[in-house]
Each structure stands twice: as C-alpha cells, then as structure tokens.
With several copies, the nearest count.
Chain A
Amino acid sequence: MSETDEVIDRELTMSRAMVESIAHEMREDEEVFYMGEDVADYGGIFDSTQGLLDEFGRDRIMDVPISETAYLGAAVGAAQEGMRPIAELMFADFFGVAMDQIYNQLAKNTYMSGGNVNVPLVLTAAVGGTYNDAAQHSQTLYGTFAHIPGLKLVVPSTAYDAKGLMHNAIRDDDPVMYLFHKRLMGIGWMPAPSGPKTPVPETDYTIPFGSADIKREGADVTVVTLGLHVHRALAAAESLAAEGIDVEVVDLRTLVPLDTDTILESVRKTGRLVVVDEDYRSFGVTGEVIARVADRDLGALDAVERVAVPDVPIPYARPMENEVIPDADDIEARVRAVASE
C-alpha cells in the first residue's frame, strides 16, 4: 500500500533531493549544521548545499579552513556534545589528510566508550571519475571506507534514494559516511545520465540502511552494483534483453550494512553473479560480495565475474580512463560470459 494516494511526478536531480532533505532536517532540528570547504557562498562544489546559506546563514552553513583534520575532528567533538553536524569532504580522494579522525576517532569512539558516547555525524563526500580528473580526484574508494568498522556507508544512485537515505543518515545516532557520485548529481557543468533524476515525494521519508533495492528484475543473471554503475548496469540490461538475457540489477544503496540476503535471494534465482564496482578491483567491493555469497551458499553460484577498476590509479587521458572505468559494454561482456557458462 502506498503512503499517499497520488502518483508522485515531481522530478528532482540527485543534488536537489539531497539538499531538500538537509534543509528539512535543519528546519526541524537546530542542532543540525553543515560544514565544509566552499559550502557557503559557493553552495558546494558539487551543489551539495546549493541555496542553503540564504536560508540558514553562515552559522549553520559554515565555510571552514582547508584543514580537514581540524574541521572533521571538530565535527566529531560537536557531535559528541549532542549536535548533529554534517561535514563535507569535498572529494573522497582527500580522505588521506584526515583519515585518523575518520577511522580512529569518529568510527571507534562509540565502541571504545562501551556505548557511552555516540557520534551522530554525517560525513559527505563526492566520489567518482568519468570526467578526466585523474588519479587524485576520481576515485570512489568504497572498499577503503567499507572496511572500517563503526562507520555506516551510504551510496545513493537516484534522487529518490538520495533523499530518503539522507534523512535516515541525519537521524541516525551513529556516524554515517554518505558518498555521492559527481556524475549523478545533475550539476550544470557535468551532465548526468537520465536515470538519477527521479520523482521525489515532497514529504520527508527515510530509507532504511541495509536494504538493497532491486532496480530491475530479471531471471538469468544477477548484477550487484552501486552508485553510477547502477545506471550503467541498467543500460547493459536493456541491451542484453534484446539478446534474450534477462538481467536482475541489485542496487546495494548501503555498503555498511550490506544486504546479503537480497543478494543471495537473487543469486539463488539466477545462479549467475556479476559484481560491478567503480572502485579498485582487489580487496574491495567485488571480492566482498562474491565471498559473502560463496560463504553463505556456495552451491547457489554457477558462475561469477568481477567488473571493476583494474588496480591502477585512474589515468587522466580519455582513452585510458574509459578503459579502466567499467562501462555498459564491459558489463554486457561479463554478463554474456556468465550467461553462457
């Protein structure tokens, strides 16, 4: 049964959906504030705070020095006082200058305090390549962050999901890392594919973490993916449908917690698993998803393939970047391979 009677047809870009939920939470709760570089007047390099300065002022939409350790750590301190900061790391690629605050403090303080302290903080960051920004500005690093105990990890692929997951992230009393893919945001200077722009309810709603979403049902092959690659997998599925291969596309939506049940259910149906990831291949998402399935039900697996960045830094020039970041063709090829096994 639907929450409302009407069909929702108001479409938003993913960035507008994110901003809408942030604005809503800020109106509801004075303790929510946003800090980051260029989030005030600029509105976020990737439009993540577009328009918020006007409504909320500099105190709640705070520009900060280029001192990621200091300001992320300050967010941790404020969160431990009971505030609900949202702190933006402009590019996920910059995590290395502040990783200690991320993984040794914010992710561990709840555990180390035996649950006496909690850190209700949302850490947002832009991820992804496909626009030739080279090795230090194009990574997704999903595996790196998902490997850290104590941090929930959200990766939306559509405006609808982005809004519901952001509401949930802000209301969560645990630290949540929220990675938005630049290519999906609908930024003026970086055209998005059409998929991420979806109808979005005006009301607030929360999408629970650990609930993967089947973005396309199919009987033959399971493609498990996230972020930008949901849309590339859907495009591949359309082409493959013409060849008679019926692909199911599972959008993980959160990596921590990981919805193994939904993946497993799909694989039990199809027997064939292709995991598609924009992060580096080894020691990351593709390995984990395959191992979860193998560990839980090895017999369900008839064939398996990994599609990811082949353990090289992201190269700058177009032919090479295109080569290493999986596209719909790469997905199709691997799906065909498992389908014929």
Chain B
Amino acid sequence: MVSQDKLCELYADMLTARYYEERLQEEYLEGKQPAFDISAGPIPGELHLAAGQEAAAVGVCHHLRADDTVTAPHRPHHVAIAKGVDLKRMSAEIFGRKTGLGKGKGGHMHLFDPDVSFACSGIIAEGCPPAAGAALAATKRNEDAVAVAFLGEGAIDQGAFLESLNFASVHDLPVVFVVEDNDWAISMPKERVTDVEDGSDRAAGFDMPGIRVDQDDAIAVYEAAGEAIGRARDRNGPTLLEVQVHRRMGHFMGDPQTYRSDADEEAALARDSIDRLEAELRDHGVDDDELDAIRDEAESRVDEAIAWAKEQPHPDPDDAYDDVFVNPPSGVTTEEPEFELAEVNADE
C-alpha cells in the first residue's frame, strides 16, 4: 500500500509537470504569431511536451535518490521534474538564458543537472548506454546507486536500446529501462513499426524480466517501479518496465497531427492519469481544500520558475566559444618534459 503522503507527492509532481507543459506551450506559441515560425519567440527550436505522460515519470522517479542516475530522451521535462531537477535553471535553459542548466547552449533536449544525476539526449535510445554505464560505475564503486533510462515505445527498435538490454543483463547491472508507450512515434503508430505488441515483450529475448503497466495509473507504476528499482538496488539485475501513457499534444509544438484520428486524440485526452489519481486521493479522504492547495503550490512553483527564467540574461554571442572543452583545462600539462634519450635509428 502506498501511503497517502506519497500519493500526494506523486500528485503534486504530476500537476507540476502537466502545468509546466501547458505554460511552456503558451509561451512557445505566443512567439509564433501570426504565422508559425519555429525560430521565433521566447522559446525557439523544437519543443516536445509530455502532457499525459506524467504517471510514468513520477511513478518511477519517486523511488530514486539524487545519486541515482536518470537519462531521458527528447521529451524530458516530466522526468526532470520528477527527478528533482532545478526547475528554475531548467526553465532558464529552455528559454535559452545564461543561467540555464547549460548556459543556454543545450536547449530543451539537452538538460544536464549533475546535482541530481540527470541527463538527456535528443537521439533516440542513445541515453540507454550511458544509463547502463552509470549503473556499471555504481557496481565498480560498490555503491548502491541505480540508474534508469527513459525511452519512448518508438525507441525499442533502435540498436542502442537493444544492445543495452544485453549489456545490462550480462553484467547484471542495476539499471531499469522505462518505456513510455504513448502509442505514437511522431506520426507512426506502434503497430506499423514494431513487431511485438508490448514493449516489455522485448525482455524475453534478453533474459530479463519485462513488466508492463497497462493503465495510465501512477499508483500501479509506482508499485511496479518499486519492484524493478528494488531489484536493481539489491543487485538482482536489470528490468524492462513499460508504462502505457497518452500523448495529449502533438509530437512537437506545431505538429498538425493530420495523421491522427479525432477518436484517437479524444481517447488520449479522456484517459487522464491526473484525474485518476485525484479520484484515488478523494477515496483516501483528501478533500478539495487539500487538493487545491497542492495544485496552487504546484502552479506557483512553475509560474515562479518561468517568471524567473524570463528575467535571466541572454548569453553573449561570444559565450558560444566556451565549454567545448573543460574550462580551465585540468589534469593536463602544457609543458613538455625534457629527457636525454639515447640515439636511435629512426629509419623505417
């Protein structure tokens, strides 16, 4: 049984993540008027929002400590929030500001917060090997940290993920692969591109347990993830965990979704994991005031972070030249030693 306090925490993070995406959507689209121009406005470039996928992120990350590594893909905000990434500096990064997590260099697909061991990559499935590597580091150091790699259901056909399953399994690494199945990879429905019905079926070919949470239910995810992460923490090997979620928005902002039927979109909107958890909380006797208080706090956290971000300074053009390498250089010499070496024949 998940405690009521824990449920409230999950709920708070889900609200935060949802509201965050809604606010970003607003900010993003504001700058795209009158005609949509991807490079205009306060948030330029691609923006992949995760509204409808919160259950997976919070259900998993609420088992994690700051030293447990999480890697997220191109759709990372909900995971980052659940993992405890600094919301202000993350927002500043998304707005391309100098005080952002990456000083404005990374953008929304490349959020790195070493304080809570969070990283992302915009290349499908390429976060899986580094997650396995973080788990490997923990075992080498005899620490009990674990690692979690998040990916979409479209990513389970990618070599980087599949190789990582074997790598983790053969080395018994404390890592959990979490597939967020939102039914779509941009415009491609999973049946068209993937042989197995459930992503968790992949586990069978890699001597690893595969679990699927078929409903968009934060509590069910929390319980399943508890098992998987517990197994990792106890050094009993990796797990593949899939969670059914729903994509409430387009693949990226500006996606016309012409490939998607109205029925599919409506169904996704109808199955809302936040409503579901809210109902559960009410069943537990949490009343309107308490729920409102949680919501208010979540929303003001987000509003504050975004307001803060928008006040932050823009980077200078010349900042572009820094940080290609560690700066200042460390651990390396700049002076060549002098030895007296015996003569040798240097001919071929």
B344 near A11: Cβ-Cβ < 8 Å: yes
B38 near A131: Cβ-Cβ < 8 Å: yes
B320 near A315: Cβ-Cβ < 8 Å: yes
Q: Bound state CA distance, A322 and B86, in angstroms? A: 28
Max count, chain B CB within 10 A of own CB: residue among A41, A69, A323: A69
Q: Bound state CA distance, A95 and B272, in angstroms? A: 37
Closest CB in chain A relative to B333 CB, distance in Å: 4
| Interface: A316 (CB within 8 A) | yes
Q: Bound state CA distance, A189 and B347, in angstroms? A: 20
Stretch at the interface among B157-165, B218-226, B279-287, B292-300: B157-165
Neighbour of B140 across the interface among A78, A118, A231, CB < 8 A:
A78
| Interface: A305 (CB within 8 A) | no
Q: Bound state CA distance, A137 and B138, in angstroms? A: 32
Q: A135 and B316 in contact (CB under 8 A), knowing A100-B126, A173-B329, A199-B341?
A: no
| Interface: B244 (CB within 8 A) | no
Q: Bound state CA distance, A67 and B160, in angstroms? A: 9
Chain A residues with CB under 8 Å of B325's CB are 110, 150, 152, 174
B119 near A83: Cβ-Cβ < 8 Å: no
| Interface: B331 (CB within 8 A) | yes
Count residues of B near A (Cβ-Cβ below 8 Å). Answer: 102
Closest CB in chain A relative to B318 CB, distance in Å: 7
Q: Bound state CA distance, A137 and B122, in angstroms? A: 8
A1-31 CB contacts (< 8 Å) to partner B: 1-4, 6-9, 11
Stretch at the interface among A201-209, A219-227, A288-296: A201-209
Interface size class of A (residues with CB under 8 A): 35 or more
Chain B residues with CB under 8 Å of A111's CB are 105, 323-324
Chain B residues with CB under 8 Å of A193's CB are 347-348
Q: A320 and B347 in contact (CB under 8 A), knowing A77-B137, A209-B332?
A: no
Which residues of B line the A interface, CB within 8 A?
35-39, 44-46, 69, 71, 93, 96-97, 100-107, 109-110, 112-114, 117, 119, 121-126, 128-138, 140-141, 147, 154-155, 157-160, 163-164, 166-167, 170, 185-188, 192-194, 254, 258-259, 314-327, 329-342, 344-348
Can you sample 8 A-B contacts with CB below 8 Å? Answer: A38-B187, A65-B154, A70-B132, A94-B123, A115-B326, A136-B121, A234-B346, A323-B318
